[in-house]
């Protein structure tokens, strides 16, 4: 992608036109996504913003250019979210992408590219809304994306990209429904999407994106079944997700998404094992999840996961009356959360992380019998 960017930048002016500008923008967002997955969000943002400027400077308003601009906005919104989940710009940019693409996607005779770009914008917008506590909006957007993917698959049954869109939307819809307390519906959605992506893996066992979607779905199903009081099924789903994520991490150890998702799979196993009464296994999985999150980079999204993973692993140890290991877990997690890194995320993320860090310490103080000190810590965090 860098070679293609360099090629575009050296084109003489007489060869630069809307078609070559779209190619240049595609190269820029391809490079941006790769840089983001390698933890280089600064380069990713530069690339995505350059792609926006490139498509806007010529004034071309053809459908092809507007579809590409929508795809660029989708990529930019995802990168901003990875850098700092609390940044309101990410939601605004993703809404802009969906609003730009919707009229072209809903028009009679709409092109496949417009409809697929719109579905992918909805998938990312729904994921972002789900992480921000807007579960109803997330569920509505992911369901719309899945319906669009079903229609597109009817027209292009051999296109694996449409299966990937359907399964990823299904994964985020599973999580959104679970957050809304619609556990049975979440499980049915996740199992349906998992069956679809498993069929693709039979045909294309080397498809890493399909394997990644499978692991995300299994992690979501592990949470949904654990909260639905089926810990044995939840442990099975979580173990399968860990197996898939470990395979992906071995292939691409620098891929921050794979490493982060491995942490989530361990966290799912920890929750399921805890509900099954397997406390030692739960604590061990919680520690491994925290460590995986800590190795996934320094973006705001990852640092929040480090804080949450640390708090949950430590709280399990608090309830197991293991104060020395609780202190060790808190210290290990906090080592990834240097003040300068956390402060750079802005006030909201900093507050969230600091409150999350305070939780297991306050719980430990409470369990040791100092209720007054625990109350002061809890109030300060609130």
Q: Give the C-alpha separation, 55 to 82, whole Å.
A: 24
The per-residue pLDDT for range 298-351, each reduced to its tens digit, is 899 999 999 999 999 999 999 988 888 899 999 999 999 999 999 988 888 999
User: In angstroms, what CA-CA distances link 286 with 7, 30, 93, 377?
Assistant: 47, 34, 34, 24
Q: What is the pLDDT of residue 321?
A: 84
Is the Cβ–Cβ distance between 117 and 105 less than 8 Å? yes
Average pLDDT in the 126-151 region?
Answer: 94
Query: Rounded to whole angstroms, how far apart are CA atoms 227 and 184?
Result: 10
pLDDT at 4 over 80: yes
Of 40, 34, 115, nearest to 70 by C-alpha is: 115
| Predicted pLDDT at 230 | 87
- Each residue of 26-82: pLDDT tens digit? 999 999 999 999 999 999 999 999 999 999 988 899 999 999 999 999 999 999 999
The residue that leads in pLDDT, 95 or 322, is 95
Range 80-95 average pLDDT: 92
Confidence of residue 133 (pLDDT cuts 50, 70, 90): confident
Nearest one of 23, 206, 197 to 9, comparing CA atoms? 23
Neighbour-count burial for 114-139, b at 16+ CB within 10 Å, e otherwise: bbbbbbbbbbbbbbbbbbbebbebbb
pLDDT at 94 over 90: yes
Residue 132 confidence (pLDDT): 86
* Model pLDDT for residues 226-252, shown as the tens digit of each residue: 877 789 999 999 999 999 999 999 999
Q: What is the DSSP string of 183-194?
A: HHHHHHHHHHHH
DSSP category for residue 159:
-
Cα separation values, 11 from 1, 6, 24, 27, 171, Å: 16, 9, 10, 14, 42
Diameter over CA atoms, the chain: 77
Do 115 and 148 meet the contact criterion of CB atoms below 8 Å apart? yes
Cα 128 to its chain centre, rounded Å, is 8
Enter the tokens of residue 263: 């942490």
Please give the C-alpha separations between residue 116 and each of 61, 127, 250, 318, in angstroms, as whole numbers.
19, 17, 31, 48
Which pLDDT score is estimated for 245?
97
Q: What is the DSSP letter of 15?
A: G
The pLDDT, as a whole number, for residue 214 is 98
Residue range 260-280: average pLDDT? 95
Give, as one character, the DSSP assignment of residue 14.
G
What is the per-residue pLDDT across 184-206, written as a single tens digit (0 to 9) for each?
999 999 999 999 999 999 999 99
pLDDT for 226 equals 85
From residue 205, alpha-carbon distances to 113, 215, 232, 240 in Å are: 26, 14, 27, 16
Q: What's the chain's average pLDDT? A: 94
State both tokens at 181.
Answer: 């307390």
């Amino acid at each position: 992608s860098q070679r293609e960017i360099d090629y575009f930048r050296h084109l003489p002016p007489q060869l630069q036109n809307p078609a070559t500008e779209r190619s240049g923008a595609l190269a820029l967002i391809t490079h941006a996504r790769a840089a983001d997955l390698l933890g280089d969000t600064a380069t990713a943002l530069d690339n995505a913003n350059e792609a926006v400027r490139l498509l806007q400077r010529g004034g071309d308003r053809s459908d092809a250019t507007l579809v590409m601009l929508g795809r660029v906005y989708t990529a930019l919104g995802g990168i901003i979210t990875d850098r700092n989940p609390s940044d309101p710009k990410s939601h605004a940019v993703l809404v802009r992408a969906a609003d730009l693409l919707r009229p072209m996607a809903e028009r009679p005779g709409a092109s496949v590219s417009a409809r697929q770009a719109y579905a992918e914008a909805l998938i990312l917008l729904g994921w972002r809304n789900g992480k921000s506590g807007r579960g109803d909006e997330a569920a509505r957007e992911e369901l719309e994306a899945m319906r669009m993917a079903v229609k597109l698959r009817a027209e292009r049954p051999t296109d694996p990209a449409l299966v990937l869109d359907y399964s990823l939307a299904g994964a985020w819809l599973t999580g959104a429904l679970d957050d809304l307390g619609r556990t049975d519906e979440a499980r049915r959605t996740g199992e349906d999407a998992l069956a679809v992506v498993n069929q693709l893996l039979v045909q294309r066992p080397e498809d890493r994106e399909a394997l990644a979607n499978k692991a995300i779905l299994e992690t979501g199903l592990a949470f949904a079944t654990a909260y639905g009081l089926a810990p044995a099924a939840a442990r099975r789903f979580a173990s399968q997700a860990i197996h898939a994520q470990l395979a992906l991490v071995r292939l691409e150890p620098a891929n921050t998404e794979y490493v982060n998702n491995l942490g989530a799979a361990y966290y799912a196993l920890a929750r399921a094992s805890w509900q099954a009464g397997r406390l030692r296994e739960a604590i061990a999985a919680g520690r491994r999840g925290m460590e995986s999150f800590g190795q996934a980079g320094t973006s705001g999204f990852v640092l929040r996961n480090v804080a949450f993973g640390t708090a949950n692993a430590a709280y399990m140890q608090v309830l197991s009356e293991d104060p020395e290991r609780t202190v060790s877990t808190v210290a290990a997690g906090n080592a990834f959360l240097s003040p300068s890194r956390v402060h750079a995320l802005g006030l909201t993320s900093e507050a969230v992380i600091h409150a999350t860090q305070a939780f297991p310490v306050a719980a430990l103080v409470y369990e040791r019998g100092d209720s007054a000190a625990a109350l002061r810590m809890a109030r300060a965090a609130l």
